[in-house]
Amino acid sequence: MLSNQIIEEVVQRALNEDAPWGDVTSEHLIPANATATAELAAREAGVFSGADVFAAAFMLTDPSLDVQLFLEDGDTFVAGQELGVVTGSARSVLTAERIGLNFVQRMSGIATLTAKYVAAVAGTNARIVDTRKTTPGLRAFERHAVVSGGGRNHRFSLSDAVMAKDNHLAILTAGGKDLTTELRRVKNELPHTMKLEVEVDRLDQIPAVLAAGVDIIMLDNFNLDDLRAGVALIAGKAVVEASGGVNLETVAAIAATGVDVISVGALTHSARALDLGLDVQIQH
């Protein structure tokens, strides 16, 4: 959840980074009593995300600024559409504009890309989810943007669920330990509210994992035939997640194999910032 506390902490840190001792350009070039109107405009179509973050950049800079946004997170817009307006002290508007734009461009870019993936799997039972491949320190923002685009969130952090990958399994079964037995032990140790997910990269690994009663099985880098076979083998006894090799050209075919979840790292690590602009008019 994108809380006000997280927004204020991250945005204030960004403002401090950008103007640690003030905005010397605006302070020397712009009269102290000058006011401005800044229109947030879309230069391309997309899905909006980051309304509260954008507003916070201006309000934390100067609480007297007036920020109005004309759409909510998750709304679509077209090129040329006016998305919002900021009015008040010209110095304050100019000081905050880059931070506000950076966040809303990044978040709207993620939301827009996510919406394309979600549209590509429409009509299937597969849900599109993100991964932990996020910008350090910005995970809450980027995860929120995925939801704005119609996607879902995977575990937020290493503390939220047990997810055993190949390296974990190699250590778990070192010395000839039985995989099913060890996974059952792990599951029995967990609180009932915590899920256990196990990654496999071959079909012949599934029976031992399935026998342990795990909650989710990730089929990593499986081809389409093996994905279908994996779904049939698991037969509803666990949630089936597909990962690896997912892009906009392949995601529909992956969804059609019957998997429940498709995790896509590209949603956050490869999304392009959307082209939004802030057109400022200063009144003296």
pLDDT digits (tens, 9 = 90+) for 109-120: 999 999 999 999
Catalytic-role residue among 52, 97, 197, 199 = 199
Q: Give the chain's domains with CATH numbers.
A: 4-118+271-283 (3.90.1170.20), 120-269 (3.20.20.70)
Q: What is the per-residue pLDDT for 172?
A: 87
Burial 33-64 (b: 16+ CB within 10 A, else e): ebbbbbebbbeeebbbbbbbbbbbbbbbbeee
Catalytic-role residue among 39, 62, 98, 215 = 98
Residue 190 is given by DSSP the state S
pLDDT grade, residue 136 (50/70/90)?
very high
* Catalytic site includes residue 199: yes
The residue with greater pLDDT, 155 or 176, is: 155
* Catalytic site includes residue 133: yes
- Any residues with CB less than 8 A from the CB of 215 and at least 6 apart, and which? 195, 196, 197, 238, 239
Q: What is the mean pLDDT of residues 34-53?
A: 98
* Catalytic site includes residue 204: no
Amino acid at 138: L
Catalytic-role residue among 165, 187, 195, 228 = 165
Q: What is the per-residue pLDDT for 250?
A: 97
Q: What is the per-residue pLDDT for 106?
A: 98
Q: What is the per-residue pLDDT for 65?
A: 98
Q: Does pLDDT of 1 surpass 80?
A: no
Q: What is the per-residue pLDDT for 176?
A: 83
Q: Does pLDDT of 50 surpass 80?
A: yes
Q: Does pLDDT of 82 surpass 90?
A: yes
Catalytic-role residue among 18, 201, 215, 220 = 220
* Catalytic site includes residue 220: yes
- pTM across the whole model: 0.95
Catalytic-role residue among 127, 133, 184, 228 = 133
- Of all helices (H) and strands (E), which one includes residue 116? helix 90-120
